[in-house]
Structure 1
Amino acid sequence: MSQIEAAIYKFVEHELYDYKYMRKDLKELKDDIAFGIIGNTTYDNFSTTEKYSEGSGTENAGIKLMSNKVATRLLRTLEAIDRAVSRLDEEKGKLFNLKYMQRKHWKTITLEIGISRATFFRWQDEIVEATAKEMGLI
């Protein structure tokens, strides 16, 4: 395992801790776009450019979702985390779930999984580094 910069490590860990909240935020953002709460057509009424024919509501919601920078960033981050987690073995997957989803203390996790302190921190580093690679940060 190579060492990654402290700032990148902290950023990736922050994203891992926020994973389930990002999932929720993306769902809410998708719903807002689908129901016209974000990116509604009121601005289009003031546009001086020619209005093109509109597609179906689903097509329009999809275009608005993909053109929304926040949604795109959330989606890319979630997909990177999903790819990294899908490649973990069962024990590291448990560590990911206990640490980042359930936010348990490392001592509790080592007892539940039956690993040493050193193994816990090594696996944690491997999870963070794998995620950073999937995110294109290293």
Structure 2
Amino acid sequence: MLKIKRGTFLHVESELYAYHDTLREIVRIKNDLLQGKTSEDENVGGGKSNLPGDPTGRTAILLVSHKRLEQMMNVVDAIESVVSGLPDDRQKLIQLRYWTRPQTLTWDGIAAEIPAHRATVFRWRDGIITAIAARAGWR
């Protein structure tokens, strides 16, 4: 198995914890862009805008060129593509550890709930995190 840096590992874990918040933020940004709300004034120095005059074309360009939205969608895509291909017991691990709020289970509790040995659960977690990092291009 490919080894990833500790910082990358922690980053992927934080993205897993924030997955549902990220989904909500993507919807919010898309809605803002579709309604014509932008957080930045794109014509600061005056002059003519380089965006199309028609609202549909302008919205399409904003959606495609919005960097933060693109990054969030890439993260969500990496998580979803890896998690959807996992067996049920590993999906349950992700659900119990990262997506259940409030988090009341320890690693031993999660292992008992699955059921699997604690070391097996850690091995699964490491493999899942590594796969998400690889899918996102964060090696």
Name the TM-score class by shorter chain: 0.7 to 0.9
Which residue number in structure 1 is paired with residue 16 of structure 2? Answer: 16
Consecutive unaligned residues in structure 2, runs of 5 or more? none
Residue-by-residue CA offset, 1:98-136 (whole Å, 9 max, x unaligned)? 111114432221121111110110011011001001011
Which residue number in structure 2 is paired with residue 124 of structure 1? Answer: 125
The alpha-carbon distance between structure 1 residues 51 and 117, as it changes in their structure 2 partners (threshold 3 A), is closer
State the TM-score, normalizing by the size of structure 1: 0.85
Residue-by-residue CA offset, 1:61-81 (whole Å, 9 max, x unaligned)? 232122111111111111111
Map residues 97-116 of structure 1 onto 2, 5 A cutoff: 97-102=95-100, 103=103, 104-116=105-117
Consecutive unaligned residues in structure 1, runs of 5 or more? none
Query: Is this contact kept in 2: 1:33–1:39, CA < 8 A?
Result: no
Letter in 2 for 1:35: Q
CA positional deviation for 1:86: 1.8
SS in 1 for 2:75: helix
Query: Is this contact kept in 1: 2:51–2:61, CA < 8 A?
Result: no
CA positional deviation for 1:3: 2.4
The aligned length equals 136
Map residues 59-74 of structure 1 onto 2, 5 A cutoff: 59-74=57-72
CA positional deviation for 1:137: 1.3
CA positional deviation for 1:54: 2.9
Q: State whether structure 2 residue 43 is matched by structure 1 residue 35.
A: no
Identity of aligned residues (%): 29
CA positional deviation for 1:51: 6.5
Residue-by-residue CA offset, 1:18-73 (whole Å, 9 max, x unaligned)? 11110011111111111122168x7559742376653353x432321221111111
Which residue number in structure 1 is paired with residue 138 of structure 2? Answer: 137
Q: 1:83 aligns with which of 81, 84, 106?
A: 81
The alpha-carbon distance between structure 1 residues 46 and 96, as it changes in their structure 2 partners (threshold 3 A), is same
